[in-house]
Structure 1
Amino acid sequence: MSLASGTKLARVDEIPEAGGKIVDVGGVSLLLTRSGDAVHAFINRCTHAEYRLERADGRLLTQEGRFVVCHAHGASYALDSGACAGGPCTKNLTRVAVEVRSGEIFAA
């Protein structure tokens, strides 16, 4: 992964509350999630079969405002930690460090 520190990823208000957004920046696809003011970022790859998490139409499947669900085989991950929460995954999503400044999200 080659994402330079300080790279702008998105604005906090672009991420749905208790949901997520996929962004492609610098050749890296990321899942950004938000709960209130807390923002988290993960590599956009299901740990089960290495697919991107979103559907072909770009929509991201979330469940109960707590999980993101891989479109391919239903692997579920916690929005706040990326922890494998069900389905065929065996590992957590890979976390990417971010920081929020003035409502914008940057790679840390």
Structure 2
Amino acid sequence: MKFLCNSAELPDNGSRGFDLDGRKVMAVRRAGQAYVYVNRCPHRGVPLEWQPDQFLDPSASLIHCATHGALFLIENGECVAGPCAGQFLTALDSREDEQGLWVEL
């Protein structure tokens, strides 16, 4: 497993992007739970964000693709609006311990 960040570096209702060995991933925390996905929209294969660490819609309740406006559920990565409705972000296995957040690539 690869170390992503300390738990405090991913606040509740927050998101962050990471580059791990050339693979772009993103993490979101909601209700204390961290979710980690490949940073790639299933619609065009582009990164989700235009600005660093900006992966959420204004209400911080959905993951937002800045390119074409697709919206994804934080809990499972399902696209619920936009050009790739019904498709999913690629989830990555992750765990959190006293050191922080870890991801399996």
Q: What TM bracket, shorter-length normalisation?
A: 0.7 to 0.9
Could you say which residue in structure 1 is the equivalent of 2:82?
87
* 1:13 is the counterpart of 2:5: no
Question: Alignment RMSD, CA only?
Answer: 1.5
Q: Does the CA-based 8 Å contact 1:18-1:79 persist in structure 2?
A: no
- Matched letter for residue 18 of structure 1: N
Aligned residues: 102
- CA change 1:71–1:104 in 2 (3 A) is same
Runs of 4+ aligned residues of structure 1 deviating over 3 Å after TM superposition are: none
TM-score calculated relative to the size of structure 2: 0.87
Larger proportion of strand: 1
Could you say which residue in structure 2 is the equivalent of 1:54?
49
Q: Within 5 A, what are the aligned runs for 1:1-108?
A: 6-55=1-50, 57-63=51-57, 64-90=59-85, 91-108=87-104
Q: Does the CA-based 8 Å contact 2:10-2:28 persist in structure 1?
A: yes
11-20 or 24-33, which deviates more: 11-20
- CA change 1:104–1:43 in 2 (3 A) is same
Could you say which residue in structure 2 is the equivalent of 1:3?
none
- Matched letter for residue 27 of structure 2: L
Distance 1:74 1:29 in 2: 19
